[in-house]
Chains A and B, each alone.
Chain A
Amino acid sequence: MANDHEGTNPRAGTTVEKFRDDNLPGPGTGIVQTDAVENPGFEPFRARVSDLDPAKARANERRVSAFFIVSIIGSVFAIAAYIAFPIVDGDPGTIHLNNLLLGLGIALALLAIGFGAVHWSKSLMDGHDLVEQRHGTRGTEATRAKAVEVFELGNKESGFGRRTLIRRTLIGALVVSPLPAVVLFRDLAPAENPVPLLQQTMWAKGVRLTRDPSGTPIKASDVTIGSAFHVIPEGLNESEHKLEEKAKAAVLLMRLKPQDLHVSAGRETWNYDGIIAYSKICTHVGCPVALYEQQTHHLLCPCHQSQFDITHEAKVIFGPAKRPLPQLPITVDSEGYLVASSDFTEPVGPSFWERKL
């Protein structure tokens, strides 16, 4: 019985738990004894139509077989579709058709087997519920005693408990032995310290700002007020570690009216006539801050919605980012092309522990 726990419960209402030697699970501490309703026992079995009417049973038999035959048809159809609807080079429609017909054939073959088997089990196989007794999960007392004896014998014959020196040195050896495996993983990354790498980019004095991805340089006169350019440093496309460099050096170039910019002390020369360049890598977790709202001069990160105000040196006005986007100091060279006057003055991208070292 579901509610069956024997007798009274002397420990109910205390928080004391004791291990009981008998095989029965101990009653819990907060369990209430009631005169619970008695389990009425099994309901009488209700026969199905196919149990009573042999004609219905035969109809179900035919139905199940029909499912299995449909399955064979589905498989054959899938093979036929594979051959009859090949992928034609340069015609995306054929990929769609191949995918669709092959898939429908296989799906039909599988579903029909499934429906057939389930229908068979529900309508024709014996419908009586059967009962199996449960036994407590713990082993019998005899088994447990035997298990304890096995450990005791093992301990006695080896002296594991008695010979403490052996035991302690063994545990020590086992603890230390995986350490070489940990050390082995050091060379997952190159030998050099990552921190200086994270603190520099390809930008340097005189490196031209070029369009992403073509790499053509940008003249200051090309940048009209209100426009925005996706920028990479000159030579990035030829660099050996192109993606790694781009992941740090990607820049967004915009031009505002100079009087709209709030330039702080020390940054007066970082813009060129209202043309400003900011790192495109979000200071939150590194997504490209690719969305520029021309009207409000806000940059929006599409990943976690941090917003940066370009008129106030990309300071964070909303979202989980903390630091402003780093500004790239720019000027023009003798031919009128925009160039960097130096690298960024702080690490770009997501914050990391040693950022200020």
Chain B
Amino acid sequence: MSTADAAQTVEPTKGQRFTGWAANYVDERTSISGLVKELGRKIFPDHWSFMLGEVALYSFIVILLSGTFMTFFFQASMTPVFYDGSYVPLKGIEMSAAMASTLDLSFDIRGGLLMRQVHHWAALLFVASIGLHMLRIYFTGAFRKPREINWLIGFVLFVLAMAEGFTGYSLPDDLLSGNGLRIIDGLVKGIPIIGTWISYLLFGGEFPGEDVVGRFYVLHILLLPAILVAALGVHMLLLIINKHTQFAGPGRTNDNVVGVPIMPVFAAKAGGFFFIVFGVIVLIASLFQINPVWTYGPYDPSPVSAGTQPDWYIGFADGALRLVPPGWELELGAFTLSLNVFLPTIVLMLFLLVVAIYPFIEAWITGDKREHHIADRPRNAPTRTAIGAAGVTSYAVMWGAASSDLIATHFKLSIESVTYSIQALFFLGPIIAYIVTKRVCLALQKKDREIALHGYESGRIVRLPNGEYIEVHEQLDEYDRWKLVSYEDYKPLMLRPDAKGRITNGQRLRSRASRWFFEDRIAPVTRTEIEKSKHAEH
């Protein structure tokens, strides 16, 4: 075919004709071309930390796939049966149908053990990546307007993920999961007034009953996933509406998005990344055993092994229970108030509540009503970063407390001294983390300022005619400098009477909070300062 012909209409190939026909067929019935036009070249900014949410999404898909496979074999029933599968040590032992079918899935179905392990590893990764994703959002301030609602939805997803994890952990009805349920029973019974009845209704009678596995199964594979998928849909939709945040960089502003288009680069990268996440999970599942229920045996209320531990994401709740000192139970007349159980529950709820509403607290303190699409570097919001570090520390202390017995046995310490230390750390840790983080942030800001104004050390030593040695500082180019100087600056609010000449308590509180937030701050380098430093050096 000559070039002259090519310039005119080219006869389409058979494949192209078919594609054209199919696209036309679909569009005439769905008007999907509009969607493709809108979204096909949507821009996604690039940064490694933006992958964390993707990992969560992809591991959820892996969970759905592997979980669906298992539903074909698992029996969610607590009817007692005598195990008669190929795992010899448990042959003839009485156990629930749930446990027996879990063993069959593991030992008599080819690939069944693999799918169980894929499911469990993917679940651990799911909660972990949601947690890290939340930390990324938090520390870069990506929860600010207009994304506060999406933060809340993300928080709901985090809680749902933990609930999914716990209900799933309970399904095999093995010794460990039964003990987990026993603890939940104790926690629920510790709720004042209604606790006894809630436990009674949950277990369909006295603990353990024969209902809870079936009920958790419905929650685990139907109700919770349905809510999760719906919330995930809204989460993604808002992501599209709000567009992704981006880090500051040359050419990037609060009014644009710089990155790669969905078609084709982002689709290839993200699609490829899905396969990588899936592949890594399968690789881990084929190499590393997880939750070998056959070594624990079926649930029995009497035995328990030392060093029992929940899955990692429930650890902080279990640890909080361990930190209560002896004797925290009150008798109010004829009634018993189990503060030793109920108080940790309240503390955990408060912790989660603060996480959920933090964007609104910060928005109120800063009074900032503008939209923010540039992600902060954590150092440039020292107080927020320090609060986050304190929160991470208190979570970590509670989480570590869930391993107090293992810490004691591994390091040959007494359980008492380990517990007392963790109790002290529960109060001191967050304070220390707050102070240290804030100082580190301010120091890093100072360093940035220094580099932006006077350049970086080049390592080149020059001897001046008068014999003095100096190290030559190289100036940054304007692109590199921009990353160091482009951040928002705030100052504490002044307390002033409002339009009616009043000062309300709310205003007082707010200006105090604002002072706490912005008192210690390093202002970004200004144009004037850069000019001055240039003159000084010439």
Q: Given A30-B491, A288-B302, are A107 and B282 also a contact pair (CB < 8 Å)?
A: yes
> Is residue A329 contacting chain B, with contact meaning CB distance below 8 A?
no
Separation of A304 and B278 alpha carbons in the complex (Å): 36
Separation of A95 and B208 alpha carbons in the complex (Å): 32
**Contact flags B286-323 to A (C-beta < 8 A → 1, else 0):** 11000000000001111111111000000000100111
Q: Are B275 and A232 in contact (CB-based, < 8 A)? A: no
Q: Are B488 and A3 in contact (CB-based, < 8 A)? A: yes
Q: How many residues of A contact B (CB 8 A)?
A: 121
**Interface stretch (choices B19-27, B105-113, B164-172, B353-361):** B105-113
A185 contacts across to B, CB distance below 8 A: 201
Q: Which residue of A lies closest to B510 (CB)?
A: A15
Q: Are A121 and B269 in contact (CB-based, < 8 A)? A: yes
8 Å CB interface, B269-286 against A: 269, 271-280, 282-283, 285-286
> Is residue A225 contacting chain B, with contact meaning CB distance below 8 A?
no
**Contact flags B32-71 to A (C-beta < 8 A → 1, else 0):** 0000000001110000000000000000000000000000
Q: Are B302 and A4 in contact (CB-based, < 8 A)? A: no
B258 contacts across to A, CB distance below 8 A: 42, 129-131
**Interface stretch (choices A148-156, A159-167, A171-179, A243-251):** A243-251
**Interface stretch (choices A86-94, A260-268, A330-338):** A86-94
A114 contacts across to B, CB distance below 8 A: 272-279
> Is residue A118 contacting chain B, with contact meaning CB distance below 8 A?
yes
Q: Are A302 and B305 in contact (CB-based, < 8 A)? A: yes
A302 contacts across to B, CB distance below 8 A: 304-308, 405
Q: Are B279 and A110 in contact (CB-based, < 8 A)? A: yes
> Is residue A99 contacting chain B, with contact meaning CB distance below 8 A?
yes
A305 contacts across to B, CB distance below 8 A: 322, 404-405, 415, 419
Q: Are B196 and A354 in contact (CB-based, < 8 A)? A: yes
**Interface stretch (choices A50-58, A202-210, A214-222, A318-326):** A318-326
8 Å CB interface, A210-246 against B: 212-213, 230, 232, 241, 243-244, 246
Q: Given A87-B107, A320-B321, are A194 and B206 also a contact pair (CB < 8 Å)?
A: yes
**Size bracket, chain B contacts:** 35 or more
> Is residue A98 contacting chain B, with contact meaning CB distance below 8 A?
yes
Q: Given A103-B114, A316-B326, A321-B326, are A2 and B334 also a contact pair (CB < 8 Å)?
A: no
A286 contacts across to B, CB distance below 8 A: 182-183, 185-186, 207
B498 contacts across to A, CB distance below 8 A: 14-16
Q: Are A285 and B486 in contact (CB-based, < 8 A)? A: no
Contact of A40 among B275, B303, B478 (CB under 8 A): B478
Q: Are B283 and A103 in contact (CB-based, < 8 A)? A: yes
Sampled A-B contacts (9; CB under 8 Å):
A13-B494, A15-B496, A40-B251, A107-B279, A115-B272, A194-B199, A285-B182, A303-B308, A318-B419
Binding site for B on A (CB under 8 A): 1-5, 13-17, 25-32, 34-43, 82, 86-87, 89-90, 92, 95, 98-104, 106-122, 125-126, 129-134, 136-137, 185-186, 188-190, 194-195, 197-198, 212-213, 230, 232, 241, 243-244, 246-248, 250, 280-282, 284-288, 290-291, 302-306, 316-323, 349-357
